[in-house]
Structure 1
Amino acid sequence: MKNGKLKKLITLATVVASTFALVACGSSSSDDSKGSDSSAKKDSGTVYRTLDEIKKDGTINIGVFSDKNPFGYVDENGEYQGYDVYFANRIGEDLGVKVNFVSTEAANRIEYLQTGKVDLILANFTVTDERAEEVDFALPYMNVALGVVSPDSNVIKSLDNWNSKDQMIVISGTTAETYLTENYPDIPLQKYDSYATAKNALENGNGVAWANDNTEVIAFALQNKGYTVGISELGNKDTIAPAVSKGNDTLLDWVNEEIKSLGDEQFFHKDYEETLVDTYGKDYEEDLVVEGGAVQ
């Protein structure tokens, strides 16, 4: 009798435990699905937070460069600075939330958006048709083209008749890599993951030249003696714009309205004068700055 009662008790305990586990699992699933469009975000394969979710959290995660002076970099005090950072801080102020800067590299900007690591990318992100298939771009706030910088001892002024033994330095995931691969497939590319490593490679003579945004190579040549931008415009002129996860319409619409509003006060000219004028001077201001999202 005792053994029979014991078996019944064990059976009853097992049933109760199983029922509790099922109920608990159901509750967890319900909690995970909370939010206005959580299921839609998962179904699309992209994770993002809506504008309301960002406001409720009180923090917006913005991806910026940490090694691309003067656009996004960390100063000697460990603080983020630069043209993109200046804009990011204003976004946080007008949105009424704290800005959490997330250091990104060119090659992982799209990944950081798609996985929800950042809400917004402000990392010198050039607008292209290919990228627009994976992220949503807001209105532009800067003009840009590609450029090529090389040592004074061997200034590269043309990419025609390239020596097949020479290598061109590029950063993975940039428009320079895409452009050269498509238009100059015979030029060997030496690829790096960050701006710092690409600069070091050029300084160490690991490549004959470095192709990147003309703003970046012009800044490098102005800040480092012994280098010249032999090609200041390569290919078509493009624009730089903020990017959000594909389908994050609420945040995209807010950023677009913010850019239009900031144009009324000539914000991006002020941004240039606060962060870029020491590097480029006044001569480049009207060429580079886009106000209110309106490209001239």
Structure 2
Amino acid sequence: MFPRTTRRLLLSLAGAALAASALAPAAHAQSALDTVMAKKQITIAVPTDYPPYGYVGTDLKPIGLDVDMAQLIATRLGVKVELLPVTSANRIPYLQTKKADLVISTLGKNPEREKVIDFTAAYSPFFQAVFAPKTLAIKSWGDLSGKTVAVTRGAMEDIELGKLAPSDAEVKRFEDNNATVAAFVSGQVQVIAVGASVAGNVMARNPQLGMEFKLLIKDSPNFIGVAKGEDALRAKVNAVIAEARAAGELDRLAQKWLGRPAGNLPN
């Protein structure tokens, strides 16, 4: 038999352990989805410098494919949406620090990003490429040798370009897409590496550049970013995406903003 004081101590510790174990499931159950449904509001990070996926309209409000997708998800969840403008550089940190519940911002999936965040199924098509004036002969990656190339820091194009471009290509990194495009349009660089949709907007607004597609960097459908461990929210969003795909809504969104349907997207 233990002394009376020892028995009391052991009973006290056992009680504390039981209390902690009883509280643990409740704390674990309070997921991002629980919070969203309780608040009746979801915070979604979207781009405002990347037309047609996300940019500021004439009424100074965000518009674009990613904005429409954010609204679609909020509507399906039956909650209000708070749109949080982000750049390529801060969209993942905003998710990790819980400033945003979801990131819908032309986010490609790769092994590096999968180490720090989770992804839903794809919701829209996207591909990155190298573009330059027609007068500039670029038919292979070797042809970028000695040329200046603009790219947005931290974007998928930046990551992939580092693997493909020759070592003597001068890659100039800018903090957001507006700065990247401005550098190309103003002649600070010879070549630009961007998403095809952005390039299309540049071509339409600056026909004098004679800009054209040169090299495919990567086919990279867009996925929605979710914080690690938020499996309930990810499953809910996946269900919304599956329903929207079956109903033809993803095709309609892509047709509206990209001029072509979403087609077959990966889960």
Tell me which interval the TM-score lies in, with the shorter structure as reference length: 0.7 to 0.9
CA distance in 2, matches of 1:264, 1:163: 46
Tell me if 1:198 matches 2:189: no
1:229 to 212, 230, 239: 212
CA distance 1:211–1:98, shift in 2 (3 Å): same
What is residue 27 of structure 2 aligned with on the other side?
Answer: 36
Aligned pairs for 1:127-142 (under 5 A) are 127-142=109-124
TM-score by length of 2: 0.83
Q: Tell me if the contact between 1:149 and 1:218 (Cα under 8 Å) persists in the aligned partners.
A: no
1:271 to 244, 247, 253: 253
CA distance 1:145–1:275, shift in 2 (3 Å): closer
What is residue 149 of structure 2 aligned with on the other side?
Answer: 168
Q: Tell me if the contact between 1:168 and 1:208 (Cα under 8 Å) persists in the aligned partners.
A: yes
Tell me if 1:84 matches 2:75: no
Aligned-residue offset at 1:294? 4.3
Aligned residue type for 1:227 = G
Aligned-residue offset at 1:36? 2.9
SS of 2:142's equivalent in the other structure is: coil
CA distance 1:294–1:162, shift in 2 (3 Å): closer
SS of 1:244's equivalent in the other structure is: strand
Unmatched 5+ residue regions in structure 2? 1-23
CA distance in 2, matches of 1:75, 1:155: 36
CA distance 1:93–1:218, shift in 2 (3 Å): same
Q: Tell me if the contact between 1:148 and 1:156 (Cα under 8 Å) persists in the aligned partners.
A: no
Q: Tell me if the contact between 2:134 and 2:212 (Cα under 8 Å) persists in the aligned partners.
A: no
Q: CA offsets, 1:84-106, max 9 Å, x none? A: 11111111111111111111000
Q: CA offsets, 1:37-77, max 9 Å, x none? A: 399xxxxxxxxx51011111121111111111111011110
Q: Which has the larger radius of gyration?
A: 1
CA distance in 2, matches of 1:101, 1:155: 42
TM-score by length of 1: 0.75
CA distance in 2, matches of 1:78, 1:249: 34
2:159 to 152, 171, 178: 178
CA distance in 2, matches of 1:98, 1:51: 13
**Identity of matched residues, %:** 24
Greater share of residues in strand: 2
Aligned-residue offset at 1:232? 5.2
Unmatched 5+ residue regions in structure 1? 1-32, 40-48, 278-284
